[in-house]
Chain A
Amino acid sequence: MALKMVKGNLERMFDKNLTDLVRGIRNNKDNEAKYIAQCIEEIKQELRQDNVSVKSNAVAKLTYLQMCGYDISWAGFNIIEVMSSNRFTCKRIGYLAASQCFHPDSELLMLTTNMIRKDLSSTNQYDAGVALSGLSCFISTDLSRDLANDIMTLMSSTKPYLRMKAVLMMYKVFLRYPEALRPAFPKLKEKLEDPDPSVQSAAVNVICELARKNPKNYLSLAPIFFKLMTTSTNNWMLIKIIKLFGALTPLEPRLGKKLIEPLTNLIHSTSAMSLLYECINTVIAVLISISSGMPNHSASIQLCVQKLRILIEDSDQNLKYLGLLAMSKILKTHPKSVQTHKDLILACLDDKDESIRLRALDLLYGMVSKKNLMEIVRRLLGHMERAEGSSYRDELLYKVIEICSQGSYQYVTNFEWYLTVLVELILLESGSRHGRLIAGQLLDVAIRVQAVRTFAVNEMATLLETYPVTAAPNGTMQEVLYAAAWIVGEFAPHLDGPERTLAVLLQPKPVAGHIQAVYVQNALKLFANLVGEAVRQRDGAAIERHCQTLAEGLRSYLSSADIEVQERASSVYFLVVLLRESLGGGADQQHAAAPVADGGLLELTPDVPGEPGDGGGEEARAAPDESVATGTGGHYPGVAWDEIEQIATDLQGLFGSELNPVAPKAQRKVQLPEELDLDEWINQPPPSADASSADGGSSDEDKFPLFLTDGGRGGGGGERETNGGGDGSRSYKRIEYTQEELDKMRQARLLEQTNNPNYLKPAKTKKASGGDYHQQQQQQHDCYDDIPIAEIALEVPLQIHSTKRSDKYLMDAERATRVFVGKSGGRKEKGEKSGKKSKRRGKKSKRYSDESDSESDDPKPLHVVNTVIELPEGAILSDTEDKNNADPNDPHRALDIDLDAPFEDDYPQEMKRKAANQRSVMLLRDRDGQTAKTNRNPADEHQSGGTTTTTSDSKHRSRRRGTAAATERSGSKHADRKHTDRSDEQQQQQVDGGGAGREKQKKKKKSAGKERPDEADAIMLMIDEETPAKGRTTKEKKKHSKPPKDGVAADEAVEDGDVKEKKKKHSKKSSKHHHHHHHSSSSKKSGYEEMPVQSLGGVSKDAI
C-alpha cells in the first residue's frame, strides 16, 4: 500500500505544478487558449487521482486559471476534497480556491458545514485561521446559521489571532443571518476591551460597519468608544472610531459637543494626515448637527477650514482631493466660511487632474453670487470646449445648469444671458444626456420670466431652424426641440417672423415622434395666431396662404408612423379644411382633395366630439364655431369680416388662456373624487365586432378593438367608440397598404357612404357651396413644391459666432459696473418695468430685486422670475413622499435591531438551546401537555430533534415546542428565581421566559421615541464621568433608559457595588421613572443580558 503510494507519487512527480503552468502559458502566448484547454484536460486527469497532494496541485493550478477568467466551478467537489485534507498545505490551497470561486448560492456549500466546523475547532490555530479566511468569502445563510456558535466560541479563544479573525467573521455572519446579532452582541462589545489591540481593532471595525447603516442602535456604545478614542494610539482604529462618531452625532447632538474638544486636540496634535483628515470630517459632521445653538463653534469651523486650506494647497494631489471633498461638506451648512477661499477653489478648476476638477465643480455651487455668476459660467463653458471625454463635459454642462438654476435662479440677473448660455450648451454638446434638463430649463425660463419672453421666443425660432437634426442622435439633446417648438407656439405673438417659423415647424425632420407631435400642435397655435393677425389686417390672401402652408406642411405628418403625430396632424388638417370651407364657401368634393396619403381618414368628420387629448379638445370646441360660420359663409374674400374675425378669435381662443407652472408633485396631491371609479367601464364594451359593425355607420373601422392604441389616448371618451377609436387602430394597418389599394378602398368607401342613409355627408354642403374651390386647391396642391421652404431657412445667418454670444452679456455687465453710478437709474427703471409686468400678470410674483437691495454691490437683476406655482389646495411643495427608497436587498435592513432591548422570541432558538443545553437534559413540554425528552449536544444537533418527532423537519418542530414550553413556564417560575443561582437550566428559563414579555417589548418599541432622550442623558452623563467601571456602564444606562410610560423598574436586576454607586448618582434624575411594576419582568431582563455571555463562555472553555 505504501509502496503503491510512493509509486503514484513518482508517477505524478512530472505533473505540471503551478510554476510550470504559468511558464507554459507565457511560452504559448500565440495559442494560449489551446494550451490552457490542454492543461485543463491534464488537471481533470489529476483530479481523478486518489493522492490528495496531486489533487491539491491541480486545484492550485485551477485557482490561477480562475484569475485568468476561466470558470472552475465544475471542480467544486474536488476543491472540497482538498479543503478537507489533514495537511495544512493542501487545506490552504483548497480554501483559497474555494474563496475564489464559491459563492453563497453554491449548492456544494452544504457539504462543507461539518468539515469547516472541524477546522474551526482544530488544535492548529492556522487551520482555523485559514478556514475563517476562506469562509469569509463564501459564507451562506445556512452556513452562518450552523456555524454561528462555533465562530462565537472562537471569539473567546485563548489565541488572539483566532479571536481577531472570529470577530471579523461575525460581521459576515450577521449579514447572512441577522438573528445571530443579538446573542453575539454582548460578546462583541466585550471584545472592544480585549487586551490584544488587533482584536480590539477588529471589534471596532465590525461595530463601525454595523453602525454605519443603523447608527441609532449603537448610541449606547458611545461611552466605550469615547474612552477608546481618548486612550488609544492605534491610528487605524482611531480613524474607524472617529468615522463612527461622525455617523452617531447626527442622532445625538450632545455627543457632538462632547466630541469637539478631544477632536480639536487631535487635529492640533496628530502628525498623521489620515487621522487629521478624519478628525476634520467628524468635526464637520458635529458642526452640521449642532449648527445652531453652540456659541463658539465658529472657531471650530475656522480651524477646519484653515486646515482644509492647507490640505488643498498641498502639492500632494491626494490631500488636495480630500480637502476639496471635505470642503463640500462644510459648504452645505456654512457657505460663508468656504466662500472666503473662493480663489483657491477656482484655481482647482484648472487642475490637470480630473478627479480634483470634479470636486472643485461640486464646490462651485456654493461659490457663485450675482456678481460672479457670468464669469464662472464663462470659464466653465471654456472648459467644456477644451475638455475631452464626454462624461466630463456632460458633468460640466450639468453643473452650469445646476449653478444657474439654484434657488429659483437666485443668482441670474440677466435671463437673456442665461438663455444664450443654454443655447450655446445645446450647440456645444449635441451628444449630451441632459437634453431633458435643458429643455426643462428653457420652458421654465420662458414661462416664469415674462420679461424675457420675446427674446426667448425668437431665440427658439432660430434654434429650431439651425439645430442640426440627425436621424440617430446619440444623446437626448433633441429634447430641446420639444421645448423650443412649444415656446414658439405658445408665445407666438412675440415672434418676429411667425410665417417663417411656421414653415420651419412644418418641415419634415427626422425627430422623435413625441417631438413631432409637439411640432404639429404648435404649428396650429402659430397658425391661429397668424390668421388672427391676417384678419386684423383684413388680408384675405394671407389667410389663404397660411391655410395652404399649414395644409401642405401637414402632409408628411399625416402619414407619420407615430400614432400621436398622425392623430394630431389629422385633427389640425380638418380644422384647416373647415376653416377654408367657412371662409371660401368650400371647394366641392373637399374630401377628395384630402392628402392622398391618408385615404382612411376621410370619414373622420370634423364634428367628432369629445376627443381626449388636448388636440382633440380644440377640435371639439372648434367644431361648433365653425359650423356656425358655415351657415353664413361663402362671402369670401373680403366680405363679412365680422364673421371671419369671429372665427379667428375663436381659433385663437383655443390657446388663449395663461399657463402657469405646475408643481412637480401637484398631480399626486389631487384627491380622487369619491364617485370616480377608474376601473369601471365608462361605456359597456361592444359585445362583438360583428354586432357593432351592423349598426355603426362606418363599418370597416369597427373590425378593430376599441382601445388598441397606446396609453396616450388611454382615457378616451365614449363617443369615440365608432369614429375616433377606429381611426386610431386602423392606422396601424394602413401603413401596409399600397397606393392602389388605398385608392380602391377609398372608392369603395365613398360608394358605400353615398348609399348609407345613416352617414352624415358633409361633402354635400361643400358641393353646394361652390365647385371651384376644390379645383383651386388642387392647383395649389400642384404648385406646393415650388414653395421655397429650404431657401428660407438658408437666408437666416447662422447664429454661431467664434466668440460666444453669452460673453457679450458679461462684457456688458462689466462695463456697467464700471459706470455703475451713472447708469443705475436706468437699470432700476428696467427692473421696475419688469416688476410691474409681473405684478399685472402673476398674482403673487416675487421681486428678487427687493432682496438684492440689501447686498448693495450686487448687480440688479434685469428680469424677474415668476414664482407662482400651481398646486392643489392644502399641498405643500416640500412634502416628501419618497422616503422608502432604500435598497430592499440591503442585508443591513435586517440588522436594524434594538440591541438595548431585552432579546426574546427573536433570539434564535437553536442557539439558545444549544447554548443552554450543552451538557444538560431538558424537559420540553408541548402545548398539549405531551412530554418530550431531548438529549442534546452539539454533535447531534442536526440529527436529533426530539424523541417524539421523527419527521425531517424535527429541528423546527422542537424549536417551536421549546418556545411554547418556555412561554408557559415563564409565567410561573420567575417569581422564585434566585440571581445567584446560575445553573444552565435556569438560564435557559430566563431567556426563554422572555416570550411572556413580548407584550411589554412591543409597548416599549412604541414608546421608543420618547425613550430616546432619557437614554441619551445617561450616555452623556457617562461620558462626563468616565468611570472606570465601564463594563457596567451600558447595563446601568439601560435602567435609566426605561421608558417612563411603561414604568418598568429595572432595579431588581443584578446589583453589585459598582452599579449601586452609580445609580445613586443618577437616582435623583431617574427615580421618578422607576415605578414598581412587573417584578418578574425586570428580573427577566437581567437574565437576558447575562445569559449569552456566560453560557457561551462555558462552551468555549469546553471547546478549547
Chain B
Amino acid sequence: MATASPSVFLLMVNGQVESAQFPEYDDLYCKYCFVYGQDWAPTAGLEEGISQITSKSQDVRQALVWNFPIDVTFKSTNPYGWPQIVLSVYGPDVFGNDVVRGYGAVHVPFSPGRHKRTIPMFVPESTSKLQKFTSWFMGRRPEYTDPKVVAQGEGREGKAPSPLLPLSPIQVTAWEWVGPGLG
C-alpha cells in the first residue's frame, strides 16, 4: 500500500443524540453540527440538525430524551481536521425567552464499531455581576454567534468562568472505513 498519491477514505457516522441530564432545566431542544478541517467534505446525509423539544419524564428518572438521529458520511484525504460534533442545548428561562443552556463538542471516534460518548456541556458567563443580572433579566445571555467556536482550541483564553452543566450522553454507533486504511 506504499503509494505517494493521496488516498481518499470515507467515514460514515450513524448514531443518535440519545438523552441529557440537566437537573436544573426543562423543556430543552438541541442542535448539532459538524466542524471539520479543510481536507474533509460531507458526501451524504445532513451535517446539521435541530431536535424536538423534550420535557423531563414524570417518573423518578427525570430523563430528557431526544433519540435524535445523526446520519452523515464524510470524505477525506487527511486525518488532520477529524470531524467534531458540536452540540448546543437551548431552553426557556423564567420569562419565556429561548436561552442557551450548554455547548459541548467531541471528536467522532476513530475506530470502527459502536461507541457511547457522554459530553460535558458548558455555558459562557458574564464577568461582571451587573452584566449577569441584566442578562438574566432581559433574557439575553452571553451566547456564541457561531457555535462552531466550541470545536476550536485557539482563542479560548479570554473566556470568563463558565459554569458546567452536567453530562449529555450521545451514542454514536456503527461507522466504517471504506477505502485504503491508515495506521
Q: Answer yes or no: are A and B bound together in one complex.
A: no
Q: Which A positions have Cβ atoms within 8 angstroms of B? A: none
Q: Which B positions have Cβ atoms within 8 angstroms of A? A: none
